Structure 1
Amino acid sequence: MRVLALPDGFDLTLGGRLILRHRAAAPCLFVGHGDARMDMVRGNFDIEDTLTARLPLPVATVAEDSIGWRITFAVAEGVAPLATLKIIGNQIVPTVADPSLNRFWLRILAEAGEHVWGGGEQMSYFDLKGRRFPLWTSEPGVGRDKSSEITFKADVMGKAGGDYWNTNYPQPTYLSSRKYALHFETTAYSAFDFRHPDYHELEAWAVPARIELFAADRFTGLVSQLSERFGRQPPLPEWVYSGAIIGLKDGDNSFARLEKIRAAGVPVSALWCEDWVGLRETSFGKRLFWDWRANEQHYPNLKAKIAVLKAEGIRFMGYVNPYLCNDGMLFEEAEAAGYFAKDAVGKTALVDFGEFDCGVIDFTNPAACAWFEEKVIGQNMLDFGLSGWMADFGEYLPIDVHLANGIDARLMHNAWPTLWAEVNARAVAKRGQTGEALFFMRAGFTGVQAHCPLLWAGDQSVDFSRHDGLVTVMSGALSSGLLGNAYHHSDIGGYTSLFGNVRTPELLMRWAEMAAFTPVMRTHEGNRPRDNLQLDENPQVLAHFARMVKLWVHLVPYLKSLVADAVATGLPVQRPLFLHFEEDAACYAVQDSYLYGPDLLVAPVWQAGTETRNLHLPQGAEWVHVWSGATFDGGADISIPAPLGEPAIFYRRDSSFAALFRGLTALV
């Protein structure tokens, strides 16, 4: 970065790109004070800020030294500076003179036609331009569309409806089509506002520790820089490549149902049973018993059955989260040792999770972390025979608890998913199973990339809805992938079934078609299994699913090359079209199709009752339609038949994997 001092301000450039333009009449920096109200209802937050001051800082004084630049800002000439920006290398380090100033706004230059992406895992909009995105980890919301009946009912029921910006995994980082990226290093509530044509306004409810900038000549280089900064995942375990992970939560009957699915020709890599810990009934549906150890009544002789499955080449996976129900045995042990977060009077803070209460393991307490890693994950899970699990939640840290490190919970809330990922990763490493045991998470924040080996898209509705259905999974994969999360997948068929909204056979089949072109295929029975269609209840659905898993297995040689690429460069398996075709401006806003590696283009059908797919073929390559063999020139917008079983898939004609791709036709 370089700073050019001007009579009435300055310009800051990054590799020749103008990033900050400060003039007395149009300042780039504001500071202020606010008092926030934050209310949480089961992971859903109602947040409101009362601003008592927002001060523009028009007077800027630039000084250069051997390290970089120091820019001081004041509200008027002759007044003591209120803020300072130190420019060192590719970092901006802000400070304020008055510690009561707890609001910070920075305006970054915007250009006409600019696109921006990132913000963590964004489910509704891949291109963030034109909207404001609060960045606070929370439940994503049901429906996520304030105009929909489902969202309205969810809001009335428990403030659970959500909006386009709600996400389990926010991150104050974005990439610009100007080929730079910016990261706010803060765990405070923040918001990135991309609505103004002339600037992006970045807001934080604390002064960021630093603002980091990255630049590259190509988007691939920029993504590699970000993945190196935030951390890269190990390769997927070899056992995953055997087939789908089948999610069943039917107690001991899960084993018999698995055999029925295998008999239908479905290649299987693992049986995933969330309910390995037992169940409890609630109005939401059957919920797990949050006491992290095998439930012998629900799963008799489970350890022996896990061993039998493993001998047949099938692993067993379970479930865990960072809370303990207060009617479980582990709660007593943790409370006696003082491992829980505390309330205002120093007692164990209890959180209502919907008709049962839990304690929050305090991950700022090293002893609590060590106990959870060894006792829960090490002994009760890995030593018992589990090869992986859903590491759920992480976004529920209440903002009124007291933690061992003494830091305000409002500043620890966003950091919590990353701490949770660290606990899981350390437990796996202590057993020497990094790259062998596979856990997956929905919650995230800055740095989760270094610890979580696999993301999942969270709790989509069991439908084709625009803001909470099948299509949102693609946006989530693309946005998070640009920030260094190489592997992403979803619950095939969705998860959330409320107010009479249930799966259709078409939804399950279309979701499976998309999942066949993701790093991991995994099914889920949903929150209300008995109300929703399951794989083994419909012969047509099961046969279709078997074909899709066979497609996935057929592509394993290609997938392994993408995994190796992710390890070496940090590039995600699922990629936006522009990542390899940046000269084609029509690719920049596409979020309902993606590249599976550099050579396959995937355009899933995501609307009900549709058997054709309109899509854009990127300019700069010739594209072969897998099922017909027809060749198309890039740069075209086309409509292609996409009946069930033949999703719109194209490969680059000159790909070294062309023969493998042609072999897909023999499997449908």
Structure 2
Amino acid sequence: MIRVITESHAVSVYLGDSLLFRHGSDAPAVFVGRGQARFDMYRGNFDIEDYLEAREPLTHLDVLQDGEAHRLAFRRHAEDELQLELRLETTRDGACLTTRYAAPGINRTWWRLAAERDERVWGCGEQMSYLDLRGRHFPLWTSEPGVGRDKSTYVTWRSDLENRAGGNYYHTNYPQPTFLSSRYYACHLETSSYADFDFRHDGFHELQVWAVPERLELFAAPSYLGLVETLAARFGHQPRLPDWVYEGVILGLKRGKAHAEEKLEQALAADMAVSALWCEDWAGIRETSFGARLFWDWQASESRYPDLAGWCRELESRGIRFLGYVNPYLCVDGELYPVARDHGYLATDGRGEAAIVDFGEFHCGVVDFTHPEACAWFKDTILKANMLDIGLSGWMADFGEYLPVDVTLANGVSAEVEHNRWPTRWARVNAEAVAERGKTAEATFFMRAGYTGVQAHCPLLWGGDQSVDFSRHDGIGTVITAALSSGLLGNAFHHSDIGGYTSLFGNVRTAELFKRWVDLAAFTPVMRTHECNRPTDNLQWFDSAELTEHLAHMSRVYRHLSPYLRALVEEGAELGIPVQRALFLHFEDDPEAHGIQTQYLYGPDLMVAPVVEEGVAAREVYLPAGETWVHLWSGVVEEGGRRLTVNAPDGRPPVFFRQGSAWRELFENVPGRD
């Protein structure tokens, strides 16, 4: 499907008759240069600047045969020294440009791919604000996503003013230098350096990298689903979710054992389907101005959870699992920090001493995952002995995006280069610990941070720390975009904090928001609540009988649909196809389906359109052409190829199923149906 056409001083790559890449003296597609970067990190938020010293096109190209491949030798002009040498070869799935040589001093490169005016572009990791990336540029650097993420809002302004944490549309915990095109191809740059993918030009896409990438890979497929499968095979498949997940909602509680026991009984009395308790405070709490933070010394807190191992066994005997929390940092006032420091397991500073990172009113050391012995110690001491072995069935694996760029690492590689790799290293440590205990099918963990290759290790993503509101760039709607964008790159399983997480500057949850988020979460791979960063200031499901019953009802809907979800998870584990799918994956020929990002397909047979705006009783839903659709709750039949306004009372979000679905009987018996 991909073909290469060469001349003595030019090269072109086509997909069929569609030009993807062309470099010649008249229109160079490769540029090199030099720059000096400045990174300023403050609690996971980065201020990044580049002083560009030079940018030059490589106008002279010599194309030489190299077996079945071609050797491309780039110079600035014919008499110049060699600047860049690439090997271009076709592969089973596309084509690959591999770097063989780069002249000393080059630390900036730009790569242009041909674009078309009406082309759509998706991907670049987990994007929160926009599914279609066309018309914007996307810096790719793992970081805190920011609070509010919209410079026109009060919350973002206050976050910038007080914590340098407001963020923008492109900030994300999980970037990846990979995109898909509506022209049925995908492009991936193999690099961990800072990159910026620019899709603002009519005639070309420009990919900037603050390095010479190892490879530029092109993939082609005859369908969008085929393209997703190809990328999933390239980056790795997630393992299946454990069986216990399908039993109901995971209740997030962080006020100690007595509180958790009380709320569990309240949930069960309301006939809530409960699969697990997630008590992130299992290792203790510290109070800060941001809210209740955890004590980062990863061992069970006897004062908050006495005899945790015994309680885990008791809960499991009742069919309920216990989950915790961990991240790759150790607080300096804990017991584990001096052990790691004295063994040389921590990243160091310029003086050769343990580097200390400010996390807001407490300080931590950075476990060095480039050090094999540090990895083994963290797995054996924390993830196995302190967590798996006492009965934890999973955890949130947080903070993979925080590696400072000024620390020194054991492998000798610059922390600037390692920064984007860190989420994947962190995911691997967690996955290996679970596998080494033989519990891959029984335990799970979930992450917000990611980068290339995280798919092979992280079994479940979550959408990060959304604000507890309906805001366009940081509220409930962003978790749909996050699931759809990351799903295109082989991340099949995604979920979010029900009710959001970040509550600052008077922004608190409403009952309306919480119920809308519950309705959405029932149609995702995992339902999980979160008390948020300020639990006592915010509404919780257990604060009123109305909210308790609402969560209980939707948990039963989720459990009822679990046979269908199990089939989708099986497909995701085998092929990498996401559970939550952009409409165009199944409706390629329907142009209306290509730009929709606030509704999604839940597998091939359910169309889900959650309410993501405040104060509305109905929402517009697009039903793709070529199908007849049945309203899940009423049974009303609607023809596809049109938009309609659908009433959306609490507990009945707009959901439709294909009339000819093999799962029709399951759907017709969903709880709450007329």
For residue 275 of structure 1, what is the aligned residue in structure 2?
A: 281
Match of 1:379 in 2: 385
User: Is structure 2 residue 551 aligned with structure 1 residue 545?
Assistant: yes
Task: Give the structure 1 partner of residue 254 of structure 2.
Answer: 249
Alignment pair present for 1:26 and 2:24: no
Q: 2: distance between equivalents of 1:55 and 1:95?
A: 20
Counterpart mapping for 1:586-625 below 5 A: 586-625=592-631
Q: CA 1:425/1:665 → structure 2, altered by over 3 Å: closer, same or farther?
A: closer
Residue 199 of structure 1, aligned match among 201, 204, 207: 204
- Cα deviation for residue 378 of structure 1 reads 0.4
Aligned to 1:155: 160
Kindly provide the CA deviation profile for residues 470-495 of structure 1, in whole angstroms up to 9, marking residues without a partner as x. 00000000000010111000000000
- The answer to whether the 8 Å contact 1:144/1:151 transfers is yes
1:314 equivalenced with 2:320 (yes/no): yes
Aligned with 1:174: secondary structure?
Answer: strand
In structure 2, the residue corresponding to 1:170 is in which secondary structure?
Answer: coil
State how 1:229-628 maps to structure 2 within 5 Å.
229-252=234-257, 253-628=259-634
Q: Distance in 1 between matches of 2:157 and 2:630?
A: 44
Candidates 216, 221, 234, aligned match of 1:216? 221
The superposition leaves residues 323-356 of structure 1 with CA deviations (integer Å, 9 ceiling, x where unpaired) of: 0000000111111111000000100000000010
Structure-to-structure mapping, 1:1-150, within 5 angstroms: 1-6=2-7, 9-89=10-90, 90-150=95-155
The alpha-carbon deviation at position 296 of structure 1 amounts to 0.4
Classify the secondary structure of the residue corresponding to 2:144: coil
Matches of 1:337 and 1:49, distance apart in 2:
37
| Structure 1 residues 21-56: Cα deviation after superposition (integer angstroms, max 9, x where no partner) | 224232101000000000000000000000000001
Number of matched pairs: 668
Which residue does the alignment assign to 2:659? 653
Match of 2:56, as an amino acid? L
8 A contact 1:626–1:665 mirrored in 2: no
CA contact (8 A) 1:550 1:667 kept: no
Q: Residue 185 of structure 1: which of 174, 190, 199 is its match?
A: 190
**Maintained 8 Å contact 2:556/2:671:** no
TM-score, length-scaled by structure 2: 0.98
1-side partners of 2:11 and 2:190: how far apart? 24
Question: What corresponds to 1:173 in structure 2?
Answer: 178
Matched residue type, 2:81: A
1: CA distance, partners of 2:18 / 2:437: 47
Identify the range of structure 1 (582-591 vs 39-48) with the bigger mean alpha-carbon deviation.
Answer: 582-591
- Partner SS state of residue 171, structure 1: coil
Cα separation, 1, equivalents of 2:240 and 2:12: 43
* Cα RMSD after superposing both structures: 1.2
Conserved? CA contact 2:128–2:479, under 8 Å? yes
1:341–1:359 Cα contact (<8 Å) kept: yes
Give, in whole Å, the separation in 1 of the partners of 2:66 and 2:363.
57
Distance 2:482 2:642 in 1: 26
Conserved? CA contact 2:150–2:473, under 8 Å: yes
Classify the secondary structure of the residue corresponding to 1:526.
Answer: coil
**Larger displacement relative to structure 2 (159-168 or 656-665):** 656-665
Q: Secondary structure in 2 aligned to 1:142?
A: coil
- Kindly indicate whether the alpha-carbon contact (under 8 Å) linking 2:256 and 2:282 is maintained by their aligned counterparts in 1: yes
Cα separation, 1, equivalents of 2:231 and 2:407: 33
CA contact (8 A) 2:557 2:671 kept: no
Once the 2 structures are TM-superposed, how far is the Cα of residue 357 of structure 1 from its aligned partner? Answer: 0.5
CA contact (8 A) 1:551 1:667 kept: no
On the 8 A contact 1:421/1:452 being kept in 2, the answer is yes
| 8 A contact 1:267–1:549 mirrored in 2 | yes
**Alpha-carbon offset, residue 16 of structure 1:** 4.5
TM-aligned CA deviation for residue 94 of structure 1 = 2.8
Matched residue type, 1:98: A
Whether the aligned pair in 2 keeps the contact of 1:15 and 1:215 (CA below 8 Å) is no
Measured in 2, the distance between the counterparts of 1:208 and 1:278 equals 43
- Distance apart, 1:61 and its partner CA: 2.2
CA deviations 1:124-181 (Å, max 9, x no partner) are 0011111000000000000000111100100111110000000000000000000111
User: 1: CA distance between counterparts of 2:84 and 2:566?
Assistant: 50
Aligned AA for 1:331?
Y
Asked whether the equivalents of residues 547 and 667 of structure 1 are also in contact (C-alpha less than 8 Å), the reply is no
Superposed displacement of residue 7, structure 1: 7.4
What letter is aligned with 2:271? G
Structure 2 residue ranges without an equivalent (≥5): none
Query: Which shows bigger deviation, 86-95 or 304-313?
Result: 86-95
TM-score by length of 1: 0.98
